[in-house]
Amino acid sequence: MEFGDGSAFGEALVRLLPNLRRFGLALSRRHDIADDLVQITVERAIAGAAGYDPSQKLEPWLFRIMRNAFIDLTRRRKTAGTEVDVFEMPEALPTDPSKAIEARLMLRSVEAAMAELPEEQREILHLVCVEELSYAEAAEVLDIPKGTVMSRLARARRALSEKLGIE
CA distance 149 to 125: 10
72-111 tens-digit pLDDT: 888 887 776 665 454 554 444 445 667 777 878 888 888 8
CA distance 127 to 120: 11
4-37 tens-digit pLDDT: 556 788 898 999 999 999 999 999 999 999 999 9
Per-residue pLDDT at 89: 46
Rg (CA), the chain: 18
Q: How many whole angstroms from its chain centre is CA 112? A: 16
What is the value of pTM for the model shown?
0.55
Ramachandran angles phi, psi of 33, nearest 5°: -70, -40
**pLDDT for residue 114 is more than 90:** no
The mean pLDDT value of the chain amounts to 84
Mean pLDDT in residue range 142-148: 93
34-55 tens-digit pLDDT: 999 999 999 999 998 888 888 8
CA distance 123 to 141: 10
129-142 tens-digit pLDDT: 888 899 999 999 99
